[in-house]
Structure 1
Amino acid sequence: MSRVLVSGGSGYVGRFVVEHLLAHGHEVTVGGRSPPPAGFFSEDVRVVPLVLDPNLNQVDAFKDIDHFVHAAFSHLPGKYRSGEGDDPAGFRRANLDGSVRLFETARRAGIRHCIFLSSRAVYGPQPPGVVLSEEMQPQPDTLYGQVKLEVERHLLALDDDAYIATSLRVTGVYGPAGPGRSHKWQSLFDDYRAGRPVPVRAGTEVHGDDVAAAVRLMLEADPAGVSSKIFNVSDVLVDTRAILAIVQGATGCPHPLPEAADLTAFNPMTTEKIRTIGWMPGGESRLRAVVTDLVASR
């Protein structure tokens, strides 16, 4: 059993990581600005203060920890791209400088492995239909993507025999949001069922538990296979029509579905690299089951 600190463990993606690691026998500590509400996790977890501030020495958070999963990110509520609002300097200071300070602190504290949850946004715009692979040249066009890429590079520069550094480029994440919170498609479902206009949009998605499984795989893999490496984490390419077709089938909603998006123009992500070391996401069957459950839980 390893001892894992998860920054941002109370966040949307971080909660999946915490729950998955707990279920697989790891001892988890959650780092964040404030403790989660009672009952937020399936079992009690240790919580330590941890913030994205490059001026703070937060070495105490890493006491008795083996691995560090960095899932925290500071942004305007509900926004990632354009999450800097009117304070791009503060956004960079927290998410770039603050993250680098945590990585350096973890290294000095003797942490063996640091995993950073990066984003597909580092790739930026690519020609229509081009598959996004870890070997291609990133060209982020948002501050969010630029900062994620810079954080990746700073972390990988710290990698050595005693400190394993790995980055996971994660696509859009779906799944239940946890007690008292709405999942990311709730407003889409509500608009469709109320007969309001819904967008024609496509995207790559992965279930939060599959992201967490990728994190666990990094922790349990042979260090030589994941040290100083970047892995794409993505599963299905889907549009709003396909998602809402599941909702329609589950509810019998009579409203027409939106037009289909042009999936051939979208940039899917290859995941061959992470699949070769054992990652197996749930695919379309998991998407269908989860959307059906989300509708029923509402």
Structure 2
Amino acid sequence: MHLLITGANGVVGRFITRRMLDDGHKVTALGRRPVEGCRTGFCRFDLSEAPPELPEADILVHCAFQHEPGKYRGGEGDDPHGFIQANAEGTQRLFEAAKRAGVRHCVFLSSRAVYTDTGNWAVLNENSETQSDSLYGQVKLAGEEALKSLCDEAFSGSVLRATGVYGCPPGLSEHKWSDLFIRLENGEDIAPRLGTEVHGEDLADAVLKVLNRNTSQGNSFEVFNVSDLLLDRQDLLKSYARVRNISVDLPARAPGPLGVMDAGKLKVLGWQPGGSARLQSFLEKSCVAEAGNQD
């Protein structure tokens, strides 16, 4: 297959790009700059601009998202209008361009932020209420609706509502918890937090699973939750300290509550995330890398 991937330089995009290349597929990165160290084609693309004439391809995977660095919720900063124009309107323009170019399947990386904040331990499935209280969640939901409106027998769409993504992205030396681990070792106060997580490699595998799903039964548009672990920051840092063999002060446990995402629909397609074993492997590799940096 030939895949077009937006956001290939980002955290999630790097995991997906590496997996597709490793599986022997052709990849063209759509973005502001090529992906260094990856054997991909390149087509300049910016969400805030009209999309270019897209190369002929089978698949579009849309991971790009324009926001203030380090922020998703609240990533609009002091420019909510530009945030909406790029991420809602720009996404719709991209999907329309892909359909015109003959792309037959589009995968859109959405977010658990589209769900209503339940304020309890509700299990969130793909039919749960979507009425986000954040602009981030609202523009992601707008992207979902834009894709759904275009789907037909010749153009199918899959939405992946992903939770937090951990793991060291291919080609990068840091990950989402790098600063957190440094703060822990420096003895800084760390606030409690509870969240849901999935490894980037498991998310990339989810993309492959939905690309291989059967769309001949009239289900040209489908939504899938992508989540693996319910993770308290205290447990994460306790495991990290154990692997590092260090004594540290841990944050208190987070009180919750939190909506827990049900990924059963994706597992029916054969998706099997790595669970706590993959998290442990990641922590061990992170500690090896940390020790190497100190040599």
Query: Which secondary structure state, in structure 1, belongs to the residue aligned with residue 57 of structure 2?
Result: coil
Q: Does 1:51 align with 2:46?
A: yes
Query: Which secondary structure state, in structure 2, belongs to the residue aligned with residue 102 of structure 1?
Result: helix
Counterparts of 1:13 and 1:102 in 2: how far apart (Å)? 19
| Contiguous gaps of at least 5 residues in structure 2 | 291-295
Query: Which secondary structure state, in structure 1, belongs to the residue aligned with residue 285 of structure 2?
Result: helix
Q: In the alignment, is the contact (CA less than 8 A) between 1:50 and 1:58 conserved in 2?
A: yes
Query: Aligned-pair distance for 1:57?
Result: 4.3
Counterparts of 1:151 and 1:220 in 2: how far apart (Å)? 22
Counterparts of 1:224 and 1:231 in 2: how far apart (Å)? 18
Counterparts of 1:190 and 1:199 in 2: how far apart (Å)? 14
Q: In structure 2, do the counterparts of structure 1 residues 224 and 243 end up closer, same or farther at CA, with 3 Å as the change threshold?
A: farther
Q: In the alignment, is the contact (CA less than 8 A) between 1:246 and 1:292 conserved in 2?
A: no
Residues matched between the structures, number: 289
Counterparts of 1:185 and 1:167 in 2: how far apart (Å)? 26
Query: Which secondary structure state, in structure 2, belongs to the residue aligned with residue 151 of structure 1?
Result: helix
Q: How does 1:56-205 map to 2 (within 5 A)?
A: 56-59=50-53, 62-205=54-197
Query: Aligned-pair distance for 1:268?
Result: 0.8
Q: In the alignment, is the contact (CA less than 8 A) between 1:193 and 1:255 conserved in 2?
A: yes
For normalisation by structure 1, the TM-score amounts to: 0.93
Q: In the alignment, is the contact (CA less than 8 A) between 1:214 and 1:279 conserved in 2?
A: yes
Q: In the alignment, what sits opposite 1:234? A: 227
Q: In the alignment, what sits opposite 1:223? A: 215
For normalisation by structure 2, the TM-score amounts to: 0.94
Counterparts of 1:181 and 1:70 in 2: how far apart (Å)? 24
Q: Which is worse superposed, 94-103 or 122-131?
A: 122-131
Q: In the alignment, what sits opposite 1:18? A: 17
Counterparts of 2:226 and 2:77 in 1: how far apart (Å)? 27
Query: Which secondary structure state, in structure 1, belongs to the residue aligned with residue 110 of structure 2?
Result: strand
Q: Does 1:257 align with 2:267?
A: no
Amino acid of the residue matched to residue 279 of structure 1? Answer: W
Query: Aligned-pair distance for 1:196?
Result: 0.9
Amino acid of the residue matched to residue 244 of structure 2? Answer: T
| Contiguous gaps of at least 5 residues in structure 1 | none
Query: Aligned-pair distance for 1:53?
Result: 3.0
Query: Aligned-pair distance for 1:101?
Result: 0.3
Query: Which secondary structure state, in structure 1, belongs to the residue aligned with residue 230 of structure 2?
Result: strand
Question: Which digits, 9 at most, give the CA deviation of each residue in 1:233-282, with x for residues without a partner?
Answer: 0000001111111111111111122222235x221100111111111110
Q: In the alignment, is the contact (CA less than 8 A) between 2:110 and 2:160 conserved in 1?
A: yes
Q: Which is worse superposed, 222-231 or 70-79?
A: 222-231
Q: Which is worse superposed, 213-222 or 140-149?
A: 213-222
Question: Which digits, 9 at most, give the CA deviation of each residue in 1:98-119, with x for residues without a partner?
Answer: 0100100111111100110000
Q: In structure 2, do the counterparts of structure 1 residues 18 and 94 end up closer, same or farther at CA, with 3 Å as the change threshold?
A: same
Counterparts of 1:161 and 1:179 in 2: how far apart (Å)? 37
Query: Which secondary structure state, in structure 2, belongs to the residue aligned with residue 223 of structure 1?
Result: coil
Counterparts of 2:209 and 2:154 in 1: how far apart (Å)? 19
CA RMSD of aligned residues (A): 1.4
Amino acid of the residue matched to residue 31 of structure 2? Answer: G
Matched-pair identity in %: 42
Q: In the alignment, is the contact (CA less than 8 A) between 2:84 and 2:139 conserved in 1?
A: yes
Q: In the alignment, what sits opposite 1:212? A: 204
Query: Aligned-pair distance for 1:70?
Result: 0.4
Counterparts of 1:196 and 1:4 in 2: how far apart (Å)? 44
Query: Which secondary structure state, in structure 1, belongs to the residue aligned with residue 124 of structure 2?
Result: coil
Query: Aligned-pair distance for 1:22?
Result: 1.1
Q: In the alignment, what sits opposite 1:247? A: 240
Counterparts of 1:16 and 1:157 in 2: how far apart (Å)? 28
